[in-house]
Amino acid sequence: MSASDPLGFFEDGNQYGIWVAATALAAVWLWQNSSDSRWRGRLLATAILSFAIALMSQSLGAVLLLCAG
């Protein structure tokens, strides 16, 4: 593990992958359930960005759970 790994307080990369996948799932849920049309574009951008970050985390199990969610 190098100093540049984005693990923070996580024990390993799997916890990080699950965290970003859960964040992406929450962002998609928020975008889908937003009734305010002024925020839908921003929420969509947030959902896309968080989904891309989840894919870049390269945690296959977390991405599969995200897709199942």
Once rounded to an integer, what is the mean pLDDT over residues 53-68? 79
Euclidean distance between CA atoms 23 and 29, whole angstroms: 10
Q: How many domains does the chain have?
A: 1
Is 2 within a domain? no
Is 42 within a domain? yes
Residue among 31, 27, 33, 19 at smallest CA distance from 51: 27
pLDDT given at position 8: 67
Against a cut of 0.75, is the pTM above it? no
Is 19 within a domain? yes
Is 5 within a domain? no
Domain carrying residue 42: 13-68
Is 63 within a domain? yes
